[in-house]
Structure 1
């Protein structure tokens, strides 16, 4: 089993077929990168929590959370959100604020608008909005540059047919990969919650290890096909099952993107992978022993993530030197993982050593 020559410079799935992509530009303005949260259910219309459907520009989700808490006169912990959305983008998502037995300020929308947060809807619900409860995200992206050439449609069609490597995007690791460097240092001396209250550094370390494992399987082509001992994840759900023998039916289901092989998110506990799949994980543990050991000592629980994602409702439109992409991704998946298959841009590569 081979491995990437330089950590952070993970392989592209499309490169064997089309060669490396040419230089492209994205997110020149917030309007070039539009993200809309797909909740998958509707608030009930009554309850102690006020849910707000917002649109923001030039703000992180946590900045919008702080603005909402301040406007309502409540602590930040009273505000809930499901997903973290980009700063340099137009993003639409739900926030919730706990207001038991009280109304929101009459001028709440105006206060938030002054901070760059536009409120489009307000509705009550019995519970706080929790992390990761939304079903998917819709992306509308505008690309320009040399990459908008003759092979863009072919690359796009290939990804629609075969899926996209479910890599964590470079934003997970911080500017120039600094979150990963900080995670290495913290795990080496022993993780403590007071040093990483939001778990951001733990997440950076686990995400890096997952990307390294995905890279191993990208190199030999098994990122989109099952191998003996894999743990398969059903597309669009959290359902998973162990695969002792890869038969024709399972191979056909993987080929039509009905299910995907999975990789480990490192932590404590026993992996469900066996046989060939377990050997990939063993190689990962050997290569990154310090990170794996640090995560185990931190007590984070082992989990799994699909190695591949399917583009939902994909559409590509071109007009001269501009391409407009429209697609859905499951929650937790990164549009930058799609973009790096289509364009070359320095922000889509993580410059780290390790």
Structure 2
């Protein structure tokens, strides 16, 4: 499947040129933003870990092995990209135990930067945001056009698509989810089941968002919409008054799209009809998610880009710095700027 099939149209206009992302791990840096004061004591050991070209789950396995504890006692707030330089928190449950020697977990791909005790374990989704530093190399684009587009995105945000990383190589996870959905059966392995259910929900959400980007309503509240604040999971219906809320204009409040699950969408009017039409076209996936007991949730359609800054350290390099809410994808910001090329090539776009 192509990127367009998995995500949908861009909102800001055609790509302004080409560039390479992730030629090295340092070109894609992620820092977890976690505003939790640590007590300095307790049965949980928290670790601030830097990873290079290493995924979160493998890092957890290495920490568990080095500490001599079961993998289930290692916790983290969220998954981070493998092909990147990332810094994130882990916690180890060590009741009645001294701090273990974790040097066996460290090498050129993993470093432990800080260690602190706390009374509670690190919960999934506990981080508020992620800070990104991206370097687009082998850049082929007009700088003035890029500057104008970046100023535009800082004011409008971008469509909050799930990135292609969610769907596996060439959308393979979508293919697998559809096969299970056709049989209305679930994989026995918990991690496979979780991955494919997440894929299906993300794909359906992207299809709704793509339809609203196409009709120009992705960043405009409509009567019948369900609205949510950037960092809130709760939502409320939009009437005429809510559609004029000034917080929409400053990117604090946003229309939302469905994260499919049990029950009908609580949206109303034309928005409900649009969501129903998308669901009908992909009915087996929606029915599969409901049968699996997934709850109907909402996700904001518009992604505000916090603290967006940029500069050109070299003529053919654009460096971007920004903050996104947890669960959002930096690559959907980049796709509103340029087409991405494979590392080492400058003649053809990436195939997703």
> Mean Cα displacement is larger for which, 234-243 or 287-296?
234-243
Q: Secondary structure at the match of 1:194?
A: coil
Measured after TM superposition, the shift of residue 246 of structure 1 is 4.9
**Pairwise mapping of residues 276-315 of structure 1 onto structure 2 (< 5 A)?**
276-315=270-309
Alignment equivalent of 1:57, drawn from 46, 52, 55: 52
* 1:40 and 2:66 matched: no
Q: Number of aligned pairs? A: 342
Q: Secondary structure at the match of 1:101?
A: coil
Measured after TM superposition, the shift of residue 257 of structure 1 is 0.9
Cα distance in 1 for partners of 2:65, 2:316 equals 44
Cα distance in 2 for partners of 1:226, 1:343 equals 28
The aligned counterpart of 2:92 is: 97
The aligned counterpart of 2:126 is: 133
**Pairwise mapping of residues 185-264 of structure 1 onto structure 2 (< 5 A)?**
185-192=179-186, 194-197=188-191, 199-246=194-241, 249-250=244-245, 252-264=246-258
Contact 1:37–1:138 (CA<8 Å) still a contact in 2?
Answer: yes
Contact 1:262–1:307 (CA<8 Å) still a contact in 2?
Answer: yes
TM-score (norm 2): 0.92
Distance 1:197 1:114, change over 3 A: same
* 1:11 and 2:9 matched: yes
Alignment equivalent of 1:344, drawn from 334, 339, 342: 339
Gaps of 5+ in 2: 343-348
> Mean Cα displacement is larger for which, 263-272 or 165-174?
263-272
The aligned counterpart of 1:124 is: 117
Distance 1:231 1:256, change over 3 A: same
Cα distance in 1 for partners of 2:262, 2:198 equals 14
Contact 1:53–1:94 (CA<8 Å) still a contact in 2?
Answer: yes
Contact 2:41–2:119 (CA<8 Å) still a contact in 1?
Answer: yes
Cα distance in 2 for partners of 1:78, 1:242 equals 40
Q: Secondary structure at the match of 2:320?
A: strand
Distance 1:246 1:10, change over 3 A: farther
Q: Secondary structure at the match of 1:151?
A: helix
Alignment equivalent of 1:267, drawn from 261, 264, 273: 261
Measured after TM superposition, the shift of residue 272 of structure 1 is 2.1
Alignment equivalent of 1:157, drawn from 148, 151, 167: 151
